[in-house]
Amino acid sequence: MEYILTADNHMHTYRSDGNQTIEENILEAIKKGLTSIAITDHGPFHHKSARCEFEWQLVNKHELKRLQKKYPEIKLLSGIETNLVSLRGDIDITKEQENAFDIIVMGQHRTPHGLKWWDNFAWRLRNLLPTTKKRREKTTKAYLLAMENHKITILAHLNRYMKVNIKPIAELAAKKGILIELNGKGVNFTEQEIQDILDSGANFVISSDAHRKEHVGNPIKVWEFLKTHNIPKERIVNLK
Ligand SMILES: [Zn+2]
Ligand SMILES: [Zn+2]
């Protein structure tokens, strides 16, 4: 089956841990024939060298507005890759700040910073421990709370670090219209988990998670994954 990507909703710039500018991302996306992209630099609790403070997120947003006039042929969306930062389902921007973005990608990462001291134990340090059934259940609950309480558009790279129970997450994603990402740097779903997502009614979205311009619109690991896993094309929202 031939897959052609139409949009790429998860990519970084030098303002977090990418090494490219917004404009370089745009030019690459146009070259690859995409009709829409979102710039999603890491949120303010990401580890130190890779975070993008909210003020700089707003600079991204401003720049996108300016570049939209220069490149009317592609739709530019302002986004963020926010961090899940506690067992209570908190993320690293406030409710008010959420409204600044068109797209909110939420991911769990290994070493968020700036947490309250008790979350350092309850969340950050436990991320480094092996997955047990109990830890998996607690992480799953944190995801469900975040999905209920925040304006999440896309769940990034599920199962990459802390493992979760996919079924309840997919069911809530279906109910709330949240998309489940197939990430260009690696997909961590079993055959059964893919089936559970399909059964739940939730849809997938493919993202490059590009940290270099040449990866924009080129989610290499997803193309490899789709060679051996059958996901109906109509269940992936950004393919044609
Ligand atoms: Zn991420
Ligand atoms: Zn990312």
Dig out the tokens for 184 from the structure. 């260009």
Ligand nearest to the CA of 108: 1
Does the pTM exceed 0.75? yes
Predicted local distance difference test score (pLDDT) of residue 1: 66
Give the tens place of pLDDT for each residue, 32-46: 999 999 999 999 999
Q: Where are the domains of the chain?
A: 7-235
Q: How far is the CA of 205 from the centre of ligand 1 (A)?
A: 15
CATH match of 7-235 with 3.40.50.150: no
Q: How far is the CA of 166 from the centre of ligand 2 (A)?
A: 20
The Cβ of residue 134 has, within 10 Å, a number of other Cβ atoms equal to: 8
Q: How far is the CA of 220 from the centre of ligand 1 (A)?
A: 16
Tell me the one-letter amino acid at 187. Answer: V
Ramachandran area for residue 171 (φ above 0: left; ψ -120 to 50: alpha; else beta): alpha
Q: How far is the CA of 231 from the centre of ligand 2 (A)?
A: 23
Predicted local distance difference test score (pLDDT) of residue 128: 82
Ligand nearest to the CA of 83: 1
Q: How far is the CA of 229 from the centre of ligand 2 (A)?
A: 23
Question: Which residue ranges in the chain fall short of pLDDT 70?
Answer: 1
Burial tier of 71 (Cβ tally within 10 Å: 0-12, 13-18, 19+): middle
